[in-house]
Structure 1
Amino acid sequence: MKQSNQVIKMNRSYTILISLIVALGGFLLGFDSAVISGAIKGITSYFEMTDAMLGFAVGCVIFGAMAGNILAGPLADRFGRKRVLIIVAALFAISATWSALATGYTEFIIARILGGIGIGGAILIAPIYIAEIAPPHLRGSLVSFNQLNIVIGISVAYFSNYFFVNSGEDSWRWMLGVEAVPAVVYFLSLFTVPRSPRWLILKLNKIQLARKILMKIGGEEYAEITVAEIQRGQSRQEKAGRFTDLTKKKYTTIMIIALGIAFFQQITGINAIFYYAPTIFEQAGGSTDSSFLQAIVVGLTNLVFTLVAIWLIDRLGRKPLLLIGTSLMTVALLMATLAFKNATYHFGDTSLRKVGDYQVYKALGDFEGKTFDNQAALFTEVRKKLNDQQFLDFKRNEVTNFIQVNATLVLVAILLYVAAFAISLGPVMWTLISEIFPSKIKGIAISVVGFFNSLVSFSVTQVFPWELTNLGPTLTFAIYALFSLLAMFFVYRFVIETKGKTLEEVEELLIRS
C-alpha cells in the first residue's frame, strides 16, 4: 500500500480539482443560506410581513431542502451523483432569478423553496460523490471542501449584501439575484467531472469505465486495489436498500450517530446566527451599516476556522474536533447569554428621537431619563403605553435604540461560537455522514438524515424571530448553550473515529459493533 500511496500523491491534483468543482454546490448552498440576512428589512417592508411570515420567508428554503433531502438520495442512487448535481445547479439559477423578480409573497416563497430543493440535494450528494472518489488518507480533507465552499459562500454573501445595502429600496433584489451567476458557472462545470466509480460498479457494473477513472485518481495499482475492494463489498450486499432497512438492529449504532449529530448540528443555533447575523448585532445596539460589517467578520471567521478544520480533520481526527468544538460553543453561547442578561435599557433624549413613529415617540416620552434593568420589565411598562401594532413594532424595530449592552462581548462570543462550529459540527458532521453508511443503504439513509437535519434547522430559523421578540436574546442564547452542552456529551458517548479507514472498513466496524 505504501507504493500506491506514492502514486496517489502524484495524482492528487486531479482528485482535488474534481472535488473543488463538485464542492461549488457548497458555495451556492452557503450563499443562498446567508444572503437572505441582508434582504430581511427589504422583503419585510415590500411584502408587509408579520413575524410569522418573516420566519417562514427565511426558513422556507429549509422547507424546500427537506424535499431535496428526501428526493436526492434515491435519485442519486438511480441516476447517478453527477446528474443530480446538474439538476441542483439549475434549481439554484432559477431560484435566484425568480426570487429577485418576485412581486408577491407567495411567488417569493415558491422561488425560495426551489432554491431549498437545490440546497437539499447539494448538501447530501456533493459529500457522497467526493467521499466515493477520494483516497482514504485524503477523504476527510476533500469532503471538507464542501463545507469550506459553504462558508466561502456565506462570507461572499455578507460582502455582497454590504455592497448592495445602499443601492436603493430594491437593494434586496440585487442581493438575491446575483446568485444566478455562480449557479450558471457550477452548472457548466459539472459536465467536466466523471461519474462516481463506486456508483458505476455497484449500480451499472461498468468496471472498466470505473477503473479508468480510478487510474486518473491514483494510478493503476490504486485502481486495482479499489475495484477489488468495491467488488468485495458488493458481494456481501443483498438487494438494494429500502427505508425499512434503516430500522434493522445491525444499523442501530450508525443511525444513532447520524441522527444525533444531525440534530445537534442545527439545534445549537448555527443557522439562526447566519440567517439573522445583522439582526443580532442590531439587538446589541449597532447601526445598520456596522451590523452588516460585523456580519462580514462572522463570515470570515467561519472561513478561516473551516480551513483549520480541513488541516486537522485527517491529522487530529473527527471525534477530537467534535469534542473541542462543542465545548467551546457552549462557552461562547454562555458568554452571549451573560452579555444580554446584563443589558439595560435607557430612555435618553437622543435614543427617543430615533423612534420613527411620532405617536410612539410621544407615548414613550414619559420614560425620558428612566433606565430598565431587564427586557421583561421594559416590555411590561411599554405595553401599557402602546396599542398592539405599535408594541409589536417597538419589539421588532425600536428596542435596539435603547439597549445598553457590552457589544464587544457579544461580538467576541458570536465569533468564538462560529469558530468552534467551523472546526467541529460544521465540516465533521458531513464527513462522518458520508463515511458511516454502507453502500447498500447510503442513498436512502443520507436522505433520511438530511431531511431530519433540515427539519431541525427549519424549526430553529422559523421560531428565532419570535424568540428574539418574545423571549429576548438572553433566554434564546441560554437555550442554545444547553443544547451545545448536550452535544458534547453525545459526541463523547456515541461517536466513533473513522480517520484513515476505508469506507468498507468503517462499514465492518460499525455493523460489527
Structure 2
Amino acid sequence: MRGFQLTAFKFAAIVAFGGFIFGLDAALISGTVRFITAEFTLSDLQVGTVVSAPGFGVIFALMVTGRICDAWGRKTALLLIAALYLVSAIGSVLAPNFEMLVAARFLGGLAFTSLSLASMYIGEIAPPQMRGKLVSMNQITTVVGLSAAYFANYLILQASNADAAWVTALGIDQYTWRWMLGVEVIPALIWLLMLLQIPESPRWLVLKGRLDEARAVMGKLLPEGHIEPHILEIQESAAAAPTGSFRQQVAEIFKPRLRTAFWVGLVIAVAQPITGINAIMFYAPTVFEQVGIGTNAAFMQAVIVGVVSVMFTILALLLIDRLGRRPLVLFGLAWGGASLFLCSWAFSQASYELTVSSLQALAGANIDVSRLQALVGTAFETDVAFKQAMYQALGEATARANEGVLIQEAIRIDATLVLMGIMCFIASFNLSIGPVMWVLFSEIFPTYVRGVAIPFFALIVSTVSYFVQQFFPWQLNNMGATEIFLFYAACISVSLALLYRLLPETKNKSIEEIEAAMVRA
C-alpha cells in the first residue's frame, strides 16, 4: 500500500471508529432489558421506548446534520457527535428512573448520525479504487462494536452471578445493567480525542473556496499529478449544479434530474431496516429466549451473533470492490429472506406445555408453582397464548421477569433450525445490504447535494428503524414469533424485487463518473 493510501486508511479508520461506539450503544441495551423492566416496572411499550429512544433522537438530529456539515464542515460535526456519545453514556449509567434513562439515550441518538456522516467523510477522502473498502470499514467497526457489547454483557452477567467479594464491592450484582451501559464511556472518550487528528474533507474545502487548504489535504491523499485535476473535477461538478438555500438543496433531491438516485436511495433506505435486523440485534437475548435455551445461553448466542456479524462484514469488505455492490445486495437479500421464512416455519411448528417435571424445575426459580398446577398438561399452540396464560396465572410482572425460564421449560421446538435461520440471516445482512447501503449513499448523490442527501435518506433509515425497535416487544407478545419472522421475510422479498429492477453497479467508478451516469442533464 502506497503512502497516500496508508494516510487515507488512517483517517478512515479514525472516523470509522465511531461505528464501534454506535455498535456498543446499540447492543449494550439488549442485555439490560430484563433488568430495567424489573427495576422500573416497565410495560412492553415502555421497554420499546427505552430501546428505541436513540432511534427517535437521530430523527431530529438528521434534520440538521446536513446543514451543520455544509456550514461548519465534516470534522466539526464529527467532534460534536463524539461529545454527545460521551455525555449520553455517562447519563445512562447514572439515570435514576425510566424518564431520565430515556432522556439520556435520546441524547445519544442525536449522535447516531455518526454512521451517515462517517460514510460521507470517508467517501470524500478515499481514492476511487479504495472507496468501497474504506466506507465499508464503517460497517465493520459497527459490528465489532456490537460483538464487543454482547461479549461485555455476557461477562458482566456471569460476574453478577458469581459469589465473589469483588463483585459485591463493585456493585456488579446490584447494578448489573448500569455496568453494562458503562462499557461505552471510555471508548467514547477515546474517539473524541482521536478525531482531533483528522483533516477537514478536501471536497468541502474546495466547495468553500479554501483551495490552499484543500491542496494540502489532497497532497496526503492523492498521488502526484492528481491534485489539480481532482480539484477541477469538483469545481466543474459544483459549477454545473444548481445553487440556492438549504431548503432549495433539499428540494433538489426531488427534481427529475436526480430521479434515479432518489429511487435507489429511497428503496435501499427502507429495505435495510425493514429486514428486521434491529429487532434481532437490539433485543438479541430476548429473541433467543423465545427458542427456550434459557437466559445464560441466550446471552451466549448473542455473542455468537456478534462474531458472525464481524466475519461476514469482513467478507463483504473483501468482495465489495471485486464482485460489486449489486451482486452482494441481491444475493444477500435472497439468502436473508429464505432464512427468516425458515425461522417462521419452525416457530409455527412449536408447542408449549408445562409438565410436573417442569414445575419442579421452576420451583428453584423463585416462582410460586402452585399457581401453575392447573395448567399442567395444557398444550398451547402459540407463544402468545402461552404467555397470556402465564400472565393470568402468575401476574404480568412475575411472568415477564421469568419469561426465559418459563419458555425454556414449556417449549417444544426444533431450536437448531431457528438458531441456524437467525445466524444465516445475520450473515446475509452483513454480507450485503448492511455495509453496501452506506457505500451507495456515499456514491450515488452529486457533491452539491451530498451533504443534504445522505442525512435525508439516513433519516428515512432511522425512522423505519425507530418503529421496528419501538414496537418489537409489543409485537412479540401480541403477534408472536411466527408472524414477526414471516412479516420481515415478506418485506425482504418485496425489497429484493424492487432492487433487482433499480439498483445500478458503481464499483471502480469515480464519484464524478457515477454522477454523470445517474444525473440527468
Q: TM-score, normalised by structure 1?
A: 0.94
Q: Say whether 1:312 aligns with 2:316.
A: no
Q: Counterparts of 1:302 and 1:293 in 2: how far apart (Å)?
A: 14
**Paired residues, what number?**
503
Q: Which residue of 2 aligns with 1:471?
A: 479
CA distance in 1 between partners of 2:18 and 2:412 (Å): 41
2:289 is the alignment partner of 1:292: no
In structure 2, what is the equivalent of residue 341 of structure 1?
Answer: 348
Q: Percent identity between the aligned chains?
A: 38
Match of 1:414 in 2: 422
Q: Runs of 5+ in structure 2 lacking a partner?
A: 161-171
Decide which of 110, 117, 124 is 1:125's aligned counterpart: 117
Match among 105, 108, 111 for residue 101 of structure 2: 108
Kindly state the Cα deviation for residue 218 of structure 1 after the two structures are TM-superposed.
Answer: 2.0
Within 2, Cα distance between the matches of 1:399 and 1:90? 42
Q: 1:283-432 residue pairs with structure 2 within 5 A? A: 283-353=290-360, 354=362, 361-375=369-383, 378=386, 398-432=406-440
Q: Which moved more, 1:501-510 or 1:324-333?
A: 501-510
Asked if 1 retains the 8 angstrom alpha-carbon contact of 2:289 and 2:407, the reply is no
CA–CA separation in structure 2 for the residues paired with 1:300 and 1:179: 19
Cα distance change of structure 1 residues 390 and 14 upon mapping to structure 2, 3 Å threshold: closer
For residue 452 of structure 1, report the CA deviation from its aligned partner.
1.1
Asked if the contact 2:383–2:481 (Cα under 8 Å) also holds between the matched residues in 1, the reply is: no
Q: Bigger shift: 310-319 or 222-231?
A: 222-231
Matched, 1:170 2:175: yes
Q: Deviation per CA, 1:93-114, whole angstroms, max 9, x where unpaired? A: 1101110011011111110011
Task: Give the Cα–Cα distance (whole angstroms) in 1 for the partners of residues 367 and 50 of structure 2.
Answer: 29
How much has 1:444 moved relative to structure 2? Answer: 1.7
User: Which shifted more, 482-491 or 396-405?
Assistant: 396-405
In the TM superposition, residue 152 of structure 1 has moved relative to its aligned partner by: 0.6
Displacement of 1:67 after TM fit? 1.6
Q: How far off is 1:10 after superposition?
A: 4.3
Structure 1 residue identity aligned to 2:513: E
Hey, what's the Cα distance between the residues in 2 that align with 1:48 and 1:376? 21
Question: How far 1:375 sits from its partner (Å)?
Answer: 3.5
Equivalence for 1:193: 198
The question of 1:506 aligning with 2:514 is answered yes
- Give the structure 2 partner of residue 5 of structure 1: none
8 A contact 1:346–1:369 mirrored in 2: yes
Aligned residue number for residue 225 of structure 1: 229
Uncovered stretches (5+) of structure 1, i.e. residues with no partner: 1-7
The correspondence for 1:239, drawn from 236, 243, 248, is 243
Instruction: Tell me if 1:75 matches 2:68.
Output: yes
CA contact (8 A) 1:73 1:124 kept: no
Following TM superposition, by how much is the alpha carbon of 1:46 offset from its aligned partner in structure 2, in angstroms? Answer: 1.7
Choose 427-436 or 347-356, whichever is displaced more: 347-356
Distance 2:344 2:155 in 1: 31
CA apart distance, 1:396:
8.3
Q: Which amino acid aligns with 2:225?
A: E
- Residue 11 of structure 1 aligns to a residue in which SS? helix
Task: Report deviation, 1:414.
Answer: 0.9
Shift of residue 226, structure 1, vs aligned partner? 1.4
Q: How does 1:131-170 map to 2 (within 5 A)?
A: 131-165=123-157, 166=160, 167-170=172-175
8 Å CA contact 1:329–1:484 kept in 2: the answer is yes
Letter matched to residue 131 of structure 1: G
Alpha carbons of structure 1 residues 168 and 376: separation in structure 2 relative to 1, 3 Å: closer
Structure 1 residues 358, 151: CA separation in 2 closer, same or farther (over 3 Å shift)?
closer
Give RMSD over aligned pairs: 2.0
Post-superposition CA distance 1:50-80 (Å, at most 9, x none): 1110010001110011122222111011100
Equivalent runs, 1:478-493 vs 2, <5 Å = 478-493=486-501
Separation (CA, whole Å) in 2 of partners of 1:417 and 1:387: 35
Matches of 1:254 and 1:39, distance apart in 2: 40
Contact 1:72 1:124 in 2 (8 A): no
Equivalent AA in structure 1 for residue 109 of structure 2: G
TM-score, normalised via structure 2 length: 0.92
**Cα distance in 2 between the residues matched to 1:71 and 1:192:** 25
